[in-house]
Amino acid sequence: MPKNEKRALVTGGAGLIGSHVTDLLVREGWKVRVLDSLEPQTHRRGKPAWINPKVEFTHGDIRDRETTAAALDKIDTVFHQAAYGGYMPEISKYVHVNSLGTAQMLEIIREKNLRVQKIVVASSQAVYSEGAGICPKHQLVFPDVRPVEQLRKGDWEVHCPICGAITKSAPTPENAPVGGETVYGLTKVDQEKLVLLWGKQVGIPTIALRYSCTYGPRQSVFNPYTGVIAIFCTRLLNNLRPVLYEDGEQTRDFSFVEDIARANLLASETDQLDGMAVNVGSEKGVSIRKVAEIVSSALKIDIEPEARGEFRPGEMRHLTSDTKKIRSAGYKPQVELEEGIQRYIDWIRSQSDIRDYFSEAEQILKSKGIVHRVEVGNA
């Protein structure tokens, strides 16, 4: 079928990643429909101006059966990006939106025998328990999530599961154990397993892309629970210190949103990744303290970050994605972190009313037990 006849449904197409996937598909000649509930936490001012005028926009919830069925009508490829994310306390909402929403979408496709030919689902590096490590004695190991008792003592290191030695971070391959140590992570595991196993049952190619931390223009400046680069920017623009959990030396792999959009297009076009869960990342680990530095120097606001001995149980210490699989299918990230952060800041400067929502959220996170503090005497 010629490209210009391909029809895509992008769920969550008003959001950071979905809107960039949408723009790329439109440029490539696809007909695109977006289904998005305009989650108020993310879209405090309603429908964002960046929604591509060439798409058919449906304001609706993936949890609503009729809405989802209508959105799937005459669609060839589904880019399923809609999800409830971050470190929020509403645990049942994650299960409803992410797990049930996905299961129901698959059920509808099979029930109505729709013509969908491919599904690309947004998974996450949050499906891993902890990043892979190198032990001086045992080489590549897959440590478990660090016990809360260890973190309470202010010991942030990742120890070898066999001998207890301190490990050094290594790129995590897709065959690392998948756990889901946060409710969000758990529901991302649900989403990818549901989509992959269902695809095998019905014979429709499906792919789960395990994105690394994604950032870039359109990342919500309202949501204090997700997106470290966005949170640091809004803190600094309000003359507040960025808050580092643990000691700020934990590392993450960052992806610019346009690279993630390109990975989605690639996954939809190649058959090399069908049936698989695939990492997408830069394969570079950067410490959160370093991210705070890059953001502050790009903004030219010289405010030091602070580490107050706080931590989030279940959080990984280090995660860098091993990206051999997607690279072998032709993926190559194009935007380096410094350039990407600069592009985010250029965008954020064009937005009005950059308030700090983090301070208020912090109290909620502490009172609900999502953020803990090291025990006195250990800090």
Rounded Cα distance between 60 and 97, Å, is 12
- Least Å distance, CB 229 to ligand NAD, is 9
Q: CB-wise, 18 or 205, nearer to ligand NAD?
A: 18
Point out which span in 9-17, 41-49, 107-115, 128-136 binds Zn ion (CB under 5 A).
128-136
Chain positions contacting ligand NAD, by CB under 6 A: 11-12, 14-18, 35-39, 42-43, 61-63, 81-85, 97, 101, 122, 124, 211, 213-214, 220
Positive/negative CA dihedral, 18, 323, 298, 242: positive
Q: Does 163 bind Zn ion (CB under 5 A)?
A: yes
Q: In what order do the strands lie in the sheet with 277-280?
A: 56-59, 31-36, 7-11, 77-80, 118-124, 206-211, 277-280
Q: CB-wise, 15 or 171, nearer to ligand NAD?
A: 15
Point out which span in 36-44, 129-137, 205-213, 368-376 binds Zn ion (CB under 5 A).
129-137
Q: CB-wise, 160 or 185, nearer to ligand NAD?
A: 185
- Least Å distance, CB 314 to ligand NAD, is 16
- Least Å distance, CB 257 to ligand NAD, is 8
- Least Å distance, CB 72 to ligand NAD, is 13
Rounded Cα distance between 379 and 373, Å, is 9
Identify the CA nearest to 164 among candidates 137, 189, 184. 137
Q: Does 138 bind Zn ion (CB under 5 A)?
A: yes
Which of Zn ion, ligand NAD, none does residue 189 bind to, with CB < 5 to 8 Å depending on kind?
Answer: none
- Least Å distance, CB 133 to Zn ion, is 9
**Residue recorded with tokens 């809360």:** 148
Q: CB-wise, 37 or 250, nearer to ligand NAD?
A: 37
Which of Zn ion, ligand NAD, none does residue 15 bind to, with CB < 5 to 8 Å depending on kind?
Answer: ligand NAD
- Interface with Zn ion (CB under 5 A), residue total 7
Beta-bridge partners for 252 = 286, 319
Residue 193 has which token pair?
A: 């397993």
Q: CB-wise, 213 or 294, nearer to ligand NAD?
A: 213
Those residues whose C-beta lies under 8 Å from the C-beta of residue 252, and which sit 6 or more positions away, are 212, 213, 228, 285, 286, 288, 291, 318, 319, 320
SS3 3: helix
Q: CB-wise, 88 or 135, nearer to ligand NAD?
A: 88
What SS3 string covers 241-279? Answer: CCEECCCCCCEECEEEHHHHHHHHHHHHHCCCCCCCEEE
Tally of CB atoms within 10 A around 213:
22
Those residues whose C-beta lies under 8 Å from the C-beta of residue 136, and which sit 6 or more positions away, are 165
The residue of the chain with the least Cβ separation from ligand NAD equals 15
Residue choice 45, 56, 59, 162 for contact with Zn ion (CB under 5 A): 162
Q: For the chain, first and last CA: distance in Å?
A: 62
Q: Does 135 bind Zn ion (CB under 5 A)?
A: yes
Q: Which residues would be at the binding site for Zn ion (CB under 5 A)?
A: 135, 137-138, 160, 162-163, 165
